[in-house]
Amino acid sequence: MLIQSVSDNDFPIIPIRIKEILVQAAGKAGVSRIALVGGSVRDWFLKDYQNDNYLKKTDLDIVVEGSARKLAYFLEEELDKNRLSNLKYHDNYDSVKLTIDGSVIDIASTREETYPAPGENPIVKPCCLEKDLDRRDFTVNAIAVDLLNQQIIEAKRSRLDLQNKELNFLHQRSVEEDPTRIIRGARYSARLGFSLSENSLQQIQLTLKHWPWSWEINNSPKDAPPALSTRLKMELDLLFRNEPWEEALKELQNWGALKLLDNELQDDQSLRNRIRIGISLNLDGLTVLIASSSQGPKIAERLFLPQRQARIIKESIQLKELLTSTDIYSKCHSWQPSKWCEIIEEKHLLADSVALTACLVTPLKKYLLDWLSYWSNVKPNVSAEKLQKDGLSPGPELGEELRRLRLNEVDRIFGQSKNSVN
């Protein structure tokens, strides 16, 4: 680790009054060291190597040698509710999230991590600041500002890699221990304009080639380790949330890294365009990504997607398989709108499932979107009350007649004798 002294004037990331209250509370909480880490530190240094004002407002990440919970307790004692709010404790990793004077702050106890097996959750234990930095993903994120000792502490090459806009894993086993670091790398690359170093690319490709995890892609989804299931899902969610996801996915395919999800996705050259269409239809990008594989339901199960999201993926793949089957695909282009309504509605699909199918089978997109926007909204031209007055009793017969009248009305308005709405 490299150490350099610094003054507040040299490093104005954290407001002075917030720094002072943190240092004061740290003394009362018995915290021996308190440091600023994470994206705000990285981005501050990055500002020096950019021609524009790169520094943006981000959450402040604080680590302490000591108890984060105890520090938060003393902060709560010192500050009234006008200054401190949104206090939330996370006991699993002794971390706290709170807001001071409008600044969102995450506080965690320094920890080192040992992976019992590749891809599993790490075993953590308290450690010093230097070892906490040593557990991180890339050199550009292994920089801290010690607020008590007024020092910058960084891994070897950290600022050099920032200057060169290069991503280097901290360790030779980084990907093997936690493959989600690849997704993070793609996010940083897309957002910051960084390139993956040759050594890091080799680590990704060699690790994936030899696949060191006890679980493999074709094994039961429920047995997948956290880094290939729940943690992978979290990183992919972040990728699609306010990130340049198209560039990030392009990088993942260039690196051969979408094999973490599925070989089919890795080789899919239409993937980004399909997701772009899906997002324009207000679909979740991750949902479209997963549904683009024929193994989508298994991937959804592995990532522990919410029930509705998993249902959309399953239904869209089933509808795609039906519409592209040999006996249907050649005929469906000549179907009347009523026939499309029958095929779609008899399966009681969610509207988002139909929209997703439109992304998966783009030659049929027009028909599916017509159903979503127009055909599904058509009502029968005779009401149930009128039919009952004419002698039909409530029950299946009435329902079938309303359905028949509605389908006739769909064809009357949108059938082939008229121009279908585009």
The secondary structure of 318-338 as a DSSP string is: HHHHHHTSHHHHHHHTT--HH
Q: Are 364 and 320 in contact (CB under 8 A)?
A: no
- Which pLDDT does position 50 carry in this prediction? 64
| Mean pLDDT within 190-210 | 95
Among 35, 62, 70, 27, CA closest to 151: 35
Q: Could you give the CA distance from residue 153 to residue 410 in angstroms, rounded to a whole number?
A: 69
- Which pLDDT does position 46 carry in this prediction? 86
Instruction: Judge whether residue 343 has pLDDT over 70.
Output: yes
Tokens of 277: 């269409």
Instruction: Judge whether residue 418 has pLDDT over 50.
Output: no
Architecture per CATH, domain 1-164, reads as 2-Layer Sandwich (3.30)
Q: Could you give the CA distance from residue 422 to residue 414 in angstroms, rounded to a whole number?
A: 11
Radius of gyration of the chain (CA): 28
Q: Could you give the CA distance from residue 342 to residue 344 in angstroms, rounded to a whole number?
A: 6
Strand 195-196 and strand 166-167: the pairing is parallel
Q: For the packed helices 245-255 and 180-192, what is the interaxial angle rounded to 10 degrees?
A: 130
Strand 103-109 and strand 95-100: the pairing is antiparallel
Instruction: Judge whether residue 337 has pLDDT over 50.
Output: yes
> Of 15-19, 108-112, 363-367, where does mean pLDDT reach its minimum?
15-19
pLDDT band, residue 421 (cuts 50/70/90): very low
Share of the chain above pLDDT 90, in %: 78
| Mean pLDDT within 111-125 | 94
Count other Cβ atoms within 10 Å, centred on residue 223.
12
pTM of this structure: 0.89
Instruction: Judge whether residue 58 has pLDDT over 80.
Output: no
- Which pLDDT does position 252 carry in this prediction? 97
- Which pLDDT does position 2 carry in this prediction? 81
pLDDT band, residue 51 (cuts 50/70/90): low
- Which pLDDT does position 15 carry in this prediction? 87
Instruction: Judge whether residue 213 has pLDDT over 60.
Output: yes
- Ranked by mean pLDDT, the top range of 37-46, 98-107, 411-420 is 98-107
Amino acid at site 64: V
pLDDT band, residue 56 (cuts 50/70/90): low
Q: Are 66 and 103 in contact (CB under 8 A)?
A: no
| Mean pLDDT within 212-222 | 92
Q: Could you give the CA distance from residue 95 to residue 93 in angstroms, rounded to a whole number?
A: 5
- Which pLDDT does position 104 carry in this prediction? 93
- Which pLDDT does position 7 carry in this prediction? 76
- Which pLDDT does position 416 carry in this prediction? 66
Strand 143-146 and strand 123-126: the pairing is unpaired
Share of the chain above pLDDT 70, in %: 95
pLDDT band, residue 383 (cuts 50/70/90): confident
| Mean pLDDT within 303-308 | 97
Instruction: Judge whether residue 37 has pLDDT over 50.
Output: yes
pLDDT per position as a tens digit, 245-297: 999 999 999 999 999 999 999 999 999 999 999 999 999 999 999 999 999 99
pLDDT band, residue 57 (cuts 50/70/90): low
> Of 60-69, 204-213, 345-354, 377-386, where does mean pLDDT reach its minimum?
377-386
Instruction: Judge whether residue 420 has pLDDT over 60.
Output: no
Instruction: Judge whether residue 31 has pLDDT over 80.
Output: yes
Residue spans per domain, the chain: 1-164, 379-422
Q: Could you give the CA distance from residue 368 to residue 257 in angstroms, rounded to a whole number?
A: 32
